[in-house]
Amino acid sequence: MKKYLWPSVKLTLLLVVLLGGLYPLLIAAVAKMAPGAGDGIKVTHNGRVVGYENIAQKFSDDKYFQPRPSTVDYNAAGSGGSNKAAGNPDYLKTVQERIDSFMVHNPDVKRENIPTELVTASASGLDPHLTPAAAYVQVPRVAKLRGISAGKLKQLIDANTQEPLMGLFGLSTVNVLKLNIALDDMK
């Protein structure tokens, strides 16, 4: 037994030092070199911080573009999805309620034209991005409430669309917070 006990203790101590000490320090050092220095990229407007680039925010006023629904009410302290299967009756009821709510707020949109992402939450519940199609479908509502032409709103969406990395990886996306800031800045 002594033959195996001492090597096991040494290996355990080595792994505690490496994985419990050095590795976290290395990751923290790398994070400090990233944009935002590991604290997230702050979005400022008129000299004050209004949010973070990679965390969704709730916009309850219909004059704004709406983000994806959130199962955590956009609370970054505890991200998470519903963890319910696509066929779960409770999940289907929640999605139906979201569709019904969307239809009330966007009467000009046909049910079959609602992008899935506007009625389903992301895995973290904090995804700040929409596809351009999900932003375009909201244009009639925002245009009507703001008195801005649909064409100008579509140009605004296009100007705030981020293309996939190197044109290959991912989808074109629109950051809803940045889009709504640009919307408020329109005169």
Tokens 């009467």, located at residue: 107
Which pTM does this prediction carry? Answer: 0.78
Q: At 187, is the pLDDT very low, low, confident or very high (cuts 50, 70, 90)?
A: low
Residue 149 pLDDT exceeds 90: yes
Which sign, positive or negative, has the C-alpha torsion 87, 79, 60, 55?
Answer: negative
CB 84 within 8 A of CB 125: no
Residue range 22-65, pLDDT digits in tens: 999 999 888 888 776 777 778 878 888 878 888 888 888 999 99
Each residue's pLDDT tens digit, 91-114 = 999 999 999 999 999 998 999 999
Rounded Cα distance, 135 and 150, in Å: 12
Most confident region among 28-37, 121-130, 140-149 by mean pLDDT: 140-149
Eight-state DSSP code of residue 21: I
For the segment 152-164, the average pLDDT, to the nearest whole number, is 93
